């Protein structure tokens, strides 16, 4: 038996060909999980991690059994890959769910999840947002899973939107994406679309028509969108794995537990901000710092007067990338914070400029000229596109510069003529994808500058490139003339 001392990032924390833990700073780095009963205290990082189980099983490197010490839907995804999962101390209540027209194992999965989480009941979901769309992330194992459920006639009955794919579906050749990759990526998108998903291909679904209202129950993947939905919109979702999303989309319901319940939305950590922050990079670093120090917390952050949409997106992405932060409250900013005005917790995390700057240094691995400047993690909003446009108007990019946004916004900006200004400045704007889920390393890039701490983490761990973390202001001063 192997008892993990810290939560694991399934997406990039385990070598899927050997089963060896490779997560940076994990106390059991270098130890194999293959063939063992592994006690897991939960997972952190991306919700795409669930596909790792299919890869582990395919490569013969899967654990024999997983014992979860607390509910974690990303890890429960192992059940669909045929790995035995149980919750330690579960009383094993039996649930019976009757849904017609969906694969039996989907229904059994939900029953198993309800049993392990001692769910109060099953509830209908208003929408699903699926992560795990890029072929660079899910690979052959994920594609085979999609082919299999597609051929078994699965159809999504709930509004289902999708996270970014591995390329701009229209301009993948301009990006330099290899044809062999494009073929697989197009197949993934068409399989999902034929099953009923709306191919929004963005990590900001709330800006592309999937906007849950306060108190509504949804089932979302994409860790940054989960934190945004819970914290900023006041909707309710757990951080769901991609396979769970498909099960929920087909069945239309989920077990009621975790962040769907009022009692689990109360703060567990006070974060006292002792300096002024501004811009997505700094707020992303704040989130990253909180997630790194207290991966499971519900932080109540004080010391902030107001925040912009771009900063809320960045805070959501940061805490979910370094930890498993699904929900935060910012006094005076987010809707549920007012419920906890006088709430007291035993843990407090003071944060000053020194901590923020030192984390920024930790996340950067080079300080020379980059060969790519990549912005839009999470996808740029209309406001960010306009702001950046103003910053670079009349200037010219000195390095190749990519911005990622949603297809919805790209189309509107193209129609309005705004994109011409960015094009004249030498900036390429792509939709449907992002710097982390496209196969950058296969396009020859080695040194990437970005303003996103989340992108900085995953560009290193998933794409294997060197990273420089820079603010938007520095970008226009350093990399535009
Ligand atoms: Fe979105 Fe890609 Fe970042 S999916 S949150 S832009 S890693």
Q: What is the pLDDT of residues 178-201, one digit of tens each?
A: 999 999 999 999 999 999 999 999
Residue given tokens 């984390």 in the structure block:
359
Torsion sign (Cα): 162, 236, 405, 289: negative
Helical residues (DSSP H) of 271-375, grouped into ranges: 279-293, 309-322, 353-363
Q: Whose CA is nearest to atom 6 of ligand 1?
A: 377
Q: Whose CA is nearest to atom 3 of ligand 1?
A: 377
Distance 430 CA to ligand 1 centre (A): 13
The DSSP bridge partners found for residue 404 are 430
In angstroms, the CA 183 to CA 149 distance is 19
Ligand 1 pocket member 375 (CB < 6 A): no
Ligand 1 pocket member 225 (CB < 6 A): no
How confident is the model at residue 92, as a pLDDT? 60
How confident is the model at residue 469, as a pLDDT? 97
* Residue 219 vs residues 127, 246, 279, 350, 464: alpha-carbon distances, Å: 6, 10, 29, 32, 31
Ligand 1 pocket member 317 (CB < 6 A): yes
Look up residue 458 and give its two tokens.
Answer: 């995953």
Ligand 1 pocket member 434 (CB < 6 A): yes
In angstroms, the CA 361 to CA 365 distance is 8
* Residue 193 vs residues 186, 207, 208, 273, 307: alpha-carbon distances, Å: 11, 20, 16, 44, 36
- Sheet of 37-40, strands arranged across: 2-3, 37-40, 65-68, 84-87
Ligand 1 pocket member 378 (CB < 6 A): yes
Q: Whose CA is nearest to atom 4 of ligand 1?
A: 203
Distance 248 CA to ligand 1 centre (A): 22
How confident is the model at residue 345, as a pLDDT? 77
Q: Whose CA is nearest to atom 7 of ligand 1?
A: 436
In angstroms, the CA 266 to CA 345 distance is 10
Which atom of ligand 1 is nearest to 435's Cα?
A: 2
Ligand 1 pocket member 81 (CB < 6 A): no
Ligand 1 pocket member 129 (CB < 6 A): no
In angstroms, the CA 318 to CA 213 distance is 23
Distance 177 CA to ligand 1 centre (A): 18
Among 11, 164, 205, 229, residue to substitute to test ligand 1 (most atoms within 8 Å of Cβ): 164
Distance 378 CA to ligand 1 centre (A): 5
Ligand 1 pocket member 320 (CB < 6 A): no
Within 10 A of 411 (CB to CB), how many other CB atoms are there? 12
Question: Exposed, middle or buried: residue 14 (CB in 10 Å: 0-12, 13-18, 19+)?
Answer: buried
| CB of 3 closer than 8 Å to CB of 40 | no
| CB of 374 closer than 8 Å to CB of 296 | no
Does residue 65 have a cis bond before it (omega within 30 degrees)? no
Mean pLDDT per 10-residue section of the chain, whose length is 481 residues: 94 91 93 97 77 87 93 81 82 78 88 86 97 90 88 96 98 96 98 98 98 98 96 96 92 96 96 96 98 95 96 97 95 96 85 96 95 98 96 96 98 94 96 96 94 97 95 93 94
The DSSP bridge partners found for residue 277 are none
Ligand 1 pocket member 458 (CB < 6 A): yes
Among 12, 203, 438, 450, residue to substitute to test ligand 1 (most atoms within 8 Å of Cβ): 203
Among 167, 221, 437, residue to substitute to test ligand 1 (most atoms within 8 Å of Cβ): 437
Question: Exposed, middle or buried: residue 95 (CB in 10 Å: 0-12, 13-18, 19+)?
Answer: middle
- Sheet of 348-351, strands arranged across: 329-330, 299-302, 269-273, 348-351
Within 10 A of 214 (CB to CB), how many other CB atoms are there? 10
Ligand 1 pocket member 313 (CB < 6 A): no
Question: Exposed, middle or buried: residue 306 (CB in 10 Å: 0-12, 13-18, 19+)?
Answer: exposed
Distance 240 CA to ligand 1 centre (A): 16
* Residue 475 vs residues 327, 375, 392: alpha-carbon distances, Å: 30, 10, 10
Residue 164: name the closest of 175, 148, 149 by CA: 175
Residue 50: name the closest of 16, 91, 21 by CA: 16
| CB of 46 closer than 8 Å to CB of 458 | yes
| CB of 232 closer than 8 Å to CB of 209 | no
Q: Whose CA is nearest to atom 1 of ligand 1?
A: 378
| CB of 44 closer than 8 Å to CB of 295 | yes
Distance 347 CA to ligand 1 centre (A): 30
- Sheet of 401-405, strands arranged across: 427-431, 401-405, 372-380, 447-450, 466-469
| CB of 69 closer than 8 Å to CB of 99 | no
How confident is the model at residue 46, as a pLDDT? 67
Ligand 1 pocket member 224 (CB < 6 A): yes
Alpha carbon 397 to its chain's center: 29
């Amino acid at each position: 038996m192997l008892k993990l001392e810290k939560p694991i990032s399934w997406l990039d924390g385990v070598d899927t060909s050997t089963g060896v833990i490779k997560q940076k700073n994990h106390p059991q780095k270098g130890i194999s999980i293959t063939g063992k009963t592994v006690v897991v205290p939960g997972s952190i990082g991306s919700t795409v991690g669930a596909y790792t189980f299919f890869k582990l099983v395919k490569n013969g490197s899967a654990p024999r059994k997983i014992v979860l010490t607390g509910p974690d839907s990303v890890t429960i995804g192992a059940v669909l890959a045929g790995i035995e999962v149980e919750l330690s101390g579960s009383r094993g209540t039996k649930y019976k769910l009757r849904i017609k027209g969906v694969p039996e194992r989907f229904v059994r999965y939900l029953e198993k999840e309800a049993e392990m989480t001692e769910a109060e009941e099953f509830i209908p979901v208003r929408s699903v947002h699926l992560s795990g769309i890029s072929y660079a992330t899910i690979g052959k194992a994920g594609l085979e899973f999609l082919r299999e459920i597609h051929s078994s006639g699965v159809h999504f009955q709930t509004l289902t939107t999708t996270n970014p794919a591995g390329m701009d579906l229209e301009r993948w050749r301009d990006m330099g994406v290899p044809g062999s990759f494009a073929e697989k990526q197009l197949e993934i998108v068409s399989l999902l679309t034929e099953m009923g998903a709306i191919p929004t291909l963005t990590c900001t679904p709330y800006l592309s028509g999937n906007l849950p209202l306060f108190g509504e129950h949804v089932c979302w993947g994409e860790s940054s969108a989960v934190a945004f939905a819970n914290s900023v919109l006041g909707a309710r979702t757990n951080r769901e794995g991609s396979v769970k999303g498909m099960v929920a989309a087909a069945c239309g319901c989920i077990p009621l537990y975790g962040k769907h319940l009022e009692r689990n939305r109360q703060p567990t950590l006070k974060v006292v901000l002792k300096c002024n922050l501004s811009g997505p990079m700094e707020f992303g670093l704040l989130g990253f710092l909180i997630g790194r120090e207290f991966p499971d917390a519900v932080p109540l952050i004080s010391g902030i007067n107001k925040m912009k949409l771009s900063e809320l997106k960045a805070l959501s992405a940061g805490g979910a990338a370094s930890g498993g932060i699904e929900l935060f409250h910012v006094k005076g900013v987010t809707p549920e914070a007012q419920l906890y005005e006088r709430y007291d917790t035993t843990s407090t995390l003071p944060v000053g400029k020194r901590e923020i700057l030192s984390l920024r240094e930790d996340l950067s691995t080079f300080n020379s000229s980059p060969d790519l400047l990549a912005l839009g993690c999470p996808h740029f909003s209309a406001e960010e596109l306009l702001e950046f446009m103003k910053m670079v108007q009349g200037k010219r990019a000195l390095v190749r510069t990519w911005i990622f946004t949603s297809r919805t916004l790209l189309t509107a900006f193209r129609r309005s003529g705004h994109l011409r200004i960015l094009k004249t400045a030498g900036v390429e704007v792509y939709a449907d994808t992002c710097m982390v889920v496209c196969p950058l390393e296969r396009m020859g890039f080695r040194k990437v500058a970005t303003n996103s701490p989340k992108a900085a983490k995953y560009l290193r761990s998933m794409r294997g490139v060197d990273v420089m973390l820079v603010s938007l202001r520095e970008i226009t001063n350093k990399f535009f003339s």
